[in-house]
Structure 1
Amino acid sequence: MAPAYKLTYFDVTALGEPIRFLLSYGGIEFEDIRISHESWPALKSSTPFGQLPLLEHNGKVAYQSIAISRYVAKQVKLVGKDDWEDLEIDATVDTITDLRIKLAQYSFETDEKAKKEKEKSILNESLPFYLEKLDAQAKKNNGYFVGGHLTWVDLLFTASLDFINFMAKKDIIANSPNLQKVKQNVVKIPNIKAWLEKRPKDTLQ
């Protein structure tokens, strides 16, 4: 019998990996559909808004990676203990997304002169600023981002690191001990460890 969930994304970590982490954490079997960039143009028009990832369940199709992650987090009980913690989680997710978008603006810039300018402002200014703030938040919460306990933002951050490091061309948490603790707290989870051992190699790496 086919799994109840089907996740469709490119053959990379990037925006699909937090969803894969969350499904794996909850022991939810899912069909991991990976689309090559070559085959994407022919499929694009058949998607709701011309983008991936997509999550299919019971004949319904969901889009937007953060919305999907939040939905799965509810299914696997990785949300906050109350509405305020949920607010803190959402704010941290949005902050990590802001950082990822800034790094993408640098990484995928094709004009070399513009890229050099962005390297100065993004890699040398924005990135250290975000890392300092996020590391302090993780320190305050004993190796987690919110409430001193595991929530879906910890998984999202850890699952996003491969792609973020790829764009930054370095291990961004090498000098951030508390962010390293966040990662360690996630990757030691048995279901996450099992996923990391079996997942396909990222074609971006």
Structure 2
Amino acid sequence: MNLLRPLLLASNSPRRKELLAGLGLDFQIKVKEVHEDFPDHLKRAEVAEYLASHKADAYQHDLQHEVLLTADTIVCLEDRILNKPANYEEAFEMLSALSGTSHEVITGVCVLMKEQKAVFHDSTKVYFKKLTKAEIDYYIRNYQPFDKAGAYGIQEWIGMIGIERIEGSYFNVMGLPVEKLYAQLKALGVVR
């Protein structure tokens, strides 16, 4: 792929780095600490888009010719947003709640340039089989999913044994809807 401007990824997520590299794009990592609070009145997709946009705003004055990419993934179980678990107990509670049911994974993405900003999201429905307490315990102890919204990574052991099916993008559940991102970068004239 031909990038017409330097690309910055504002994320430490190994999954986002892997997915962006998989598109064949050269990029640099640039990370700032940004609080991930959001207004209570926002609906699910609005939360993901707000957080991605909010993260990008921290870089607004740093950009010259570069393109900045930020993203935020949330896991929604009915009206509840499951963030990153703080500890084993929270992770166990989240996975127990997801067990035997479906939930929605929404990733908000922001592409920011000095002269313009594009914000969008993608949504995937994920169906978990009924998990045993032993399976949940094994996963948490061995994979330490404390950096993952909803306390799981679809590409890890729990996804292999526990996810029956998904409706939508697998890569979105990993943390970056690459097909929508690529289309947006093309539309903005960043890649050709």
TM range (shorter): 0.3 to 0.5
Choose between structure 1 and 2: higher helix proportion.
1
Choose between structure 1 and 2: higher strand proportion.
2
